[in-house]
C-alpha cells in the first residue's frame, strides 16, 4: 500500500475513534442534562458525531484500512468529564470549549490540509468540518447564555 494512503488511513482512524468517543460521552450528557435548550442542541451534535465516525470508518475501510485507534488519554479524560452526571452543564461546556478552537475557525482545517492526493476524503472531511464549526459556534453561544443567566 502506498505510503500516502497509509498515512491518510492513520489520520482517519484517529478521527473516527475521537468522534465515536465524543458521541458516546455526549449521549450520556444528553441523558443527564436537565436544560431543554442544551439537550436539544446536544442531541444534534451527538447524532452528527456518531455519523461522522461511521462515515470516516467507511472511508478508511474503502481505502483498505481497519479501524483500531483509541482516543488519546487527554480526550478520554475530557469525555469522562462530559459524561459525568455529577458535573454541572456549565463546567462541562467550559471544559469542552477550553480544548476547542475559537468560534468561527475551522476545527479540522489543519487535519484536512494533511490529506493530500485524495479528493474524496478531503471533501468528506471539509464537509464534516462545516458541521463541527456550527456545533462549536452553538456551544459557545449556549455557554454565553448560561453565564448571563447565572450572573
* Residues contributing to the site for other proteins (CB under 8 A): 36-41, 43-45, 47-48, 51, 54-55, 59, 118-128, 130-131, 133-135, 137-138
Cell numbers found for residue 109: 482545517
Instruction: Go through 66-90 and write b for each residue having 16 or more CB atoms within 10 A of its CB, e for each that does not.
Output: eeebebeeebeebbeebbeeeeebb
Q: Contact, 18 vs 75, CB < 8 A?
A: yes
> Which of 25/139 has CB closer to other proteins?
139
Compute the least distance from the CB of residue 12 to other proteins, in Å: 12
Compute the least distance from the CB of residue 66 to other proteins, in Å: 20
Q: Phi-psi bin for 100: left (phi > 0), alpha (psi -120 to 50), beta?
A: beta
> Which of 83/121 has CB closer to other proteins?
121
Q: Contact, 136 vs 100, CB < 8 A?
A: yes
> Which of 76/134 has CB closer to other proteins?
134
> Which of 80/82 has CB closer to other proteins?
82
**Among candidate residues 72, 105, 108, 90, the one with its CA nearest the CA of residue 151:** 90
Compute the least distance from the CB of residue 74 to other proteins, in Å: 26
Compute the least distance from the CB of residue 127 to other proteins, in Å: 4
> Which of 76/123 has CB closer to other proteins?
123
Question: Within a 10 A sphere around the Cβ of 45, how many other Cβ atoms?
Answer: 21
Residues 32, 37, 109, 98, CA torsion sign: negative
Compute the least distance from the CB of residue 3 to other proteins, in Å: 20
Amino acid at each position: 500500500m502506498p505510503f500516502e494512503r497509509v498515512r491518510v488511513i492513520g489520520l482517519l482512524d484517529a478521527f473516527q475513534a475521537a468522534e465515536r468517543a465524543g458521541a458516546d460521552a455526549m449521549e450520556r450528557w444528553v441523558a443527564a442534562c436537565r436544560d431543554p435548550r442544551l439537550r436539544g442542541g446536544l442531541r444534534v451534535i451527538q447524532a452528527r458525531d456518531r455519523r461522522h465516525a461511521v462515515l470516516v470508518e467507511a472511508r478508511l475501510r474503502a481505502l483498505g484500512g481497519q479501524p483500531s485507534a483509541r482516543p488519546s488519554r487527554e480526550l478520554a479524560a475530557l469525555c469522562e468529564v462530559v459524561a459525568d452526571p455529577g458535573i454541572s452543564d456549565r463546567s462541562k461546556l467550559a471544559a469542552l470549549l477550553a480544548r476547542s478552537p475559537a468560534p468561527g475557525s475551522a476545527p479540522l482545517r489543519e487535519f484536512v490540509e494533511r490529506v493530500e492526493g485524495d479528493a474524496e476524503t478531503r471533501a468528506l472531511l471539509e464537509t464534516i468540518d462545516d458541521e463541527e464549526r456550527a456545533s462549536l459556534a452553538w456551544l459557545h453561544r449556549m455557554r454565553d447564555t448560561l453565564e448571563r443567566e447565572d450572573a
